[in-house]
Structure 1
Amino acid sequence: MVALFLSLVLAHLLGDFLLQPTAWVKDKKKKKIKSKYLYYHIGLHLVLLLITTQFDSNYFLGILIVALSHFGIDCAKLYFEKKKTAKLWFFIDQLLHLGVISGVVYCYFPYQIPISNLYSQQNLGLLTALVLVTYVSAIVLKVLLSKWSNQLIKKDDDDTNNAGKYIGILERLFIFFFVVMNFWEGIGFLLAAKSIFRFGDLKESKDVRLTEYILIGTLLSFGLGILCAMLYRNFIV
């Protein structure tokens, strides 16, 4: 079962990412179903599926289903995808492809998903810790740093892409897993890397409040990440 699943996924990854030129993607978006590269793309997937399954005739029907569904999913994406929803359709497209692959594998090797295991103490504890270290911590930091952030807000800076928020979330996720894996050196590396990237901003800026804001925010973010990880390690693992 696992071998078949990996074979189909490998063919998908090779065909969708490694062996699909940018020119093909642009032509498909422009001409949609009339693009010859759409059919090249599906043909390439079909060949890759045959190769990764070693031309096993037992899987020919499944391979055909995967290839035809790939064509249908790609066509739907080409016609329904808009500029504003490009990112959303990218993930929908990939999830649908993986869903079809999982369904084909199930037809050959019926399997059960242990739903009950999802509610184990370890899984619930991990999910709780991840929610705490990401979005809950982001709100806590926003409240704690409001004194400095309010002073730094500019009148023309109402539009934001929330990049700082997501950087902080990723930062704390790295710290969380570093601590859980007992890889404390990774935290030092992360802190050093962030210091290097922030050095230019701090050097060019003569605003002491900005420096205070960045330093306090960094220390609080790291502290919350370590705290959540230590609580998870001591009470759940």
Structure 2
Amino acid sequence: MVLFTKLLLAHLIGDFLLQPNRWVIHKEANKEKSKYLYAHVLLHFVLIMLLVWDLSYWKIALIIMVSHYLIDLLKLYITPKFRLKSIPFFVDQVLHIAVLYCCVYYGNLMEHTVALFQNLDWALVTAIVFVSSPAAIIMGKLLEAMSDKIELDHKSLPNAGKYIGIIERLFVLMFIIMGRWEAIGLLIGAKSVFRFNDLKESNNRKLTEYILIGTLLSFGLAVITGIIYVSV
């Protein structure tokens, strides 16, 4: 686990802290002809050796460097084909981390992976999944009759309310698991402050009531989920 943590740290430093934006732009424009692509993967090799501080791991560092080159090169070619650039970015990061995982546990990769899944807190996983999209869909169904009577604000970001609700429910669930109930009150207060000016300017009683019901319902679902998880 210590080795994986060091490799992950080297990856984070190399991919985010020590990769200037001009390197990224140059790589996107020149692909395999970019000198910064080779500087980038070489930097990863150096970082791994520095953090591990053991020459016997040079083969692992070399494998990671070569795989990093191939994955980054693939991303450079497929990224223009995607409308959402975040998709190849996250796929790229998952592949890099998967390589690190395989390099660390190559001796018993299957056994370790099976044990990892067996030891997962499946009740927590279920709770997290529930307070995300399923809870959002349930809220949509419960508020469906009311939402038809509310004038839509076309200046809002697409699905912004949905994602705000998911994030706030995840925070509430985390606070309950940590036993920090007072933090939930602070979260409600912070959301009320941000919403106050919008509701004041709109002067729309129906919208105010709709947002209030939606907020209480969202927090309520998260609280119930948290209580059930803690009680199990």
Unaligned runs of 5+ in 1: none
Q: By how many angstroms is 1:72 displaced?
A: 0.5
Residue 127 of structure 2 aligns with an amino acid whose one-letter code is: A
2:224 equivalent in structure 1: 227
2:201 equivalent in structure 1: 204
TM-score, normalising length from structure 1? 0.89
- Tell me how large the CA RMSD over aligned residues is: 2.2
Give the Cα separation in 1 of the matches to 2:24 and 2:113. Answer: 38
Give the Cα separation in 2 of the matches to 1:119 and 1:106. Answer: 17
Residue 4 of structure 1 aligns with an amino acid whose one-letter code is: L
Change (3 A) 1:151 1:91: same
Contact 2:105 2:112 (8 Å CA) reproduced: no
Number of residue equivalences: 230
TM-score, normalising length from structure 2? 0.91
Residue 20 of structure 2 aligns with an amino acid whose one-letter code is: P
1:180 pairs with one of 177, 183, 186 = 177
2:99 equivalent in structure 1: 100
1:47 equivalent in structure 2: 46
1:178-216, Cα deviation, whole Å (9 max, x unpaired):
112210011011111101111110111111111111111
Q: By how many angstroms is 1:53 displaced?
A: 1.6
Give the Cα separation in 2 of the matches to 1:76 and 1:25. Answer: 14
Residue 23 of structure 2 aligns with an amino acid whose one-letter code is: W
Give the Cα separation in 1 of the matches to 2:98 and 2:116. Answer: 21
2:122 equivalent in structure 1: 124
Give the Cα separation in 2 of the matches to 1:26 and 1:17. Answer: 14
2:78 pairs with one of 80, 84, 88 = 80
Whether 1:218 aligns to 2:215 is yes
Contact 1:4 1:53 (8 Å CA) reproduced: yes
1:136 equivalent in structure 2: 134
Whether 1:163 aligns to 2:160 is yes
Q: By how many angstroms is 1:116 displaced?
A: 6.0
Moved more, 130-139 or 11-20: 130-139
2:149 pairs with one of 130, 151, 160 = 151
Whether 1:69 aligns to 2:78 is no
Give the Cα separation in 2 of the matches to 1:72 and 1:63. Answer: 14
1:189 pairs with one of 172, 186, 189 = 186
1:25-63, Cα deviation, whole Å (9 max, x unpaired):
111111111111111111211211121121x22111111
SS at match of 2:179: coil
Contact 1:28 1:37 (8 Å CA) reproduced: yes
Change (3 A) 1:44 1:114: closer
Unaligned runs of 5+ in 2: none
Contact 1:178 1:184 (8 Å CA) reproduced: yes
Give the Cα separation in 2 of the matches to 1:179 and 1:163. Answer: 24
Contact 1:118 1:124 (8 Å CA) reproduced: no
Q: By how many angstroms is 1:68 displaced?
A: 0.7
SS at match of 1:84: coil
